[in-house]
Structure 1
Amino acid sequence: MAERVAVLFLALALLAGCGGPVAGTARPVRLSDDGRAKFKEYYARVNKAGEEGASQQSKLLKDTQHPDFRQKTCDLRGATIKVEPTWGTLRMDADWAPPGEKAHPRGDVYVVAVTITLRKEDQAIGSQIGSMHVVLLDDEVYGFAPCLGG
């Protein structure tokens, strides 16, 4: 029971970071079809890794963590996430920096509204609608650990 409470607490903490206000003004994104496809592929890879298991998804999240923030990862304690972006909300967010950081990440920063669901042992622990940031840097898509408030 104590482990279940700890996982629920972790789920709420992770999901809470996704729901804050997003700075900036909404503008339509002018991405090429190739650029938009890269973002879609990124989230598809995150979800596929989650279906394969917590260790696979953890490895992918570490491998695709923005290079300037590689040391900022988190332990999902055996849980996985499923991310469902709402692509019509994808926009640039040039002023954003990860919580607690002063530096803007290198690359072109984008934000998209998502529904994120935390799962443990094939059961949904929690779900929230929020926003997540991704960066296009040197033609590669990088993300931020969910515990960084996405």
Structure 2
Amino acid sequence: MPKMSRPQWRRQLRYVYLRFLRLQGSPEQLARGMASGVFSGCFPLFGFQTILGVAVATVLRGNRLMAAAATWVSNPFTYVPIFAFNYQVGHWLLGGGTTQTFQDLDTLTSWMDMGTEVSVRLMLGSSVVGAIAGVVSYVVGLPLIRRVRSRQIARQQRQLDSPKL
């Protein structure tokens, strides 16, 4: 894979930003979609997080494209820390028992071999962490989305009001 030069990197970032600006829906719908995706991204359902995020966004009347994008809060770089934290939260909520820590992807993928105790703790922790992360992403994301949208509208108004040469 060729190394991307700085101007190409800026161009790609600008492209993603412009795609974000063109997403359809109100700021509330976009924020609900983002919260749905972040919630779903906290679950260890590899390959199904996007489907879950879109389903939750549909129920909450959020933007489904934003939900699909927000599930990438968990990605190959963040799987281990997120799921280890989720497990610890589930362990804390249920109490007792020995603590199983996830050291790498091999131990994470073998959690099913450890039985239902680990699975229940991980899913409970994922539910709690996902709910909190989803609410926080909505509360933080809504004003940011509103600000970006208002700047976009102001910029478009300035372009309409400027004299044509």
Does TM, scored on the shorter chain, surpass 0.5? Answer: no
What is the TM-score of this pair, normalised by structure 1?
0.25
Higher share in strand: 1
Higher helix fraction (1 or 2)? 2
Return the structure number with greater relative CO, CA threshold 8 A, min gap 6.
Answer: 1
Larger radius of gyration: 2
